[in-house]
Structure 1
């Protein structure tokens, strides 16, 4: 049973991760692979709205996705986009990335290889990883403009869609940990974390929501 305090703390982390960027037309969209097919849906919606002419889906598999997405996160995302009517010519797949840093670096390399001129990127992630994705992209691809996007939804709606509250809270805590420790390792830009957010993170860790914490930094 998740306590009222834990839900309150999770909401604080959720709100902090949201950047509330207004989507605008960009050179390319990059959908970051994960357990959540909603990222593909969000990318397709943005494509239909004319926000980008090309989508890169990036991601191999992880311990969270190897059973759900045996062909790889990016490939399952591509299949979802094609099912929803996106033409195959508008989708590229980067199948090797295993963390957010590799998502950015490998997608950048793929686009350069294909001769795609990139001045701006619409970066599509899970709602609770907007800030982490943005901070990583700003560090690794500083010369392009980064616009963060995700499916507009509340924390409660997201938990209902995933049907695993503990997983969502674990993921929220993991995303927050990376914001705190990764800048010193050069994996992302530094961002100020309000004391109230840091305190919420510490309480959730103490409550045992530590399933996605890392000990050895890897972007």
Structure 2
């Protein structure tokens, strides 16, 4: 019998606090373009295909090259594998564009905008589709580097425990959550994103998880 990964009780409340903070809670509505942000998580492409079938947007841009965490899983690049997965779910080629060069969230957005401009497309609204814990950072980055578009964010709707089980790696999920929490303030300070409020309970949960050793995704 395969054991389903689950969060240790000692950290579950803190992880749940960060999990809730990073999800923006935006209401789903039709937009001009969907943007699937590359990562290790194939559910981004799954959800993008689902939303396309629901006519939330007529066009998907999948964006992303590789990170050290995705080379083995997506050897042809994140965006290319996302495209292939969306095709397998019924999205036609003429509804997908691929941006294969971006290596960070700012590049995901700026290179997507350049690709759309080259195709004569100037969207007024976009939906960023990402990992659940990337939503807030993606939103803050988009408002900084692509301020002229209206932006909403979303992820495949899964509860925390279901998401951890789907990824199959508790350490990865917790480390990524902690790393994205650090980046909210750090990237705003460095001019990469607009500032976001951070409640004290989120700060405290972040500190406790760092003290427990979840530091693999922290920026030095």
- SS at 1:25 equivalent: coil
- SS at 1:209 equivalent: coil
Match of 1:85 among 86, 90, 109: 90
- SS at 2:127 equivalent: strand
Aligned positions, number: 215
CA distance in 2, matches of 1:11, 1:144: 31
CA distance in 2, matches of 1:121, 1:208: 37
Q: Which residue in 2 is equivalent to 1:163?
A: 168
Give the TM-score normalised by structure 1. 0.96
CA distance in 2, matches of 1:63, 1:210: 16
CA distance in 2, matches of 1:79, 1:115: 24
Q: Which residue in 1 is equivalent to 2:56?
A: 51
CA distance in 2, matches of 1:63, 1:115: 33
Match of 2:112 among 102, 107, 112: 107
CA RMSD of aligned residues (A): 1.1
Cα deviation per residue 1:40-96 (whole Å; 9 max; x = unaligned)? 001011111101010000000111100000000000000001111101001000000
Any residues of structure 2 matched to 1:32-181 within 5 Å, and which? 32-181=37-186
- Kindly state the Cα deviation for residue 3 of structure 1 after the two structures are TM-superposed: 4.4
CA distance in 2, matches of 1:6, 1:169: 9
**2:7/2:161 contact within 8 Å kept:** no
- SS at 1:47 equivalent: helix
**2:18/2:206 contact within 8 Å kept:** yes
- SS at 1:182 equivalent: helix
CA distance in 1, matches of 2:115, 2:140: 21
Give the TM-score normalised by structure 2. 0.96
CA distance in 2, matches of 1:168, 1:211: 11
Moved over 4 A (4+): none
- Kindly state the Cα deviation for residue 23 of structure 1 after the two structures are TM-superposed: 1.2
CA distance in 1, matches of 2:195, 2:10: 28
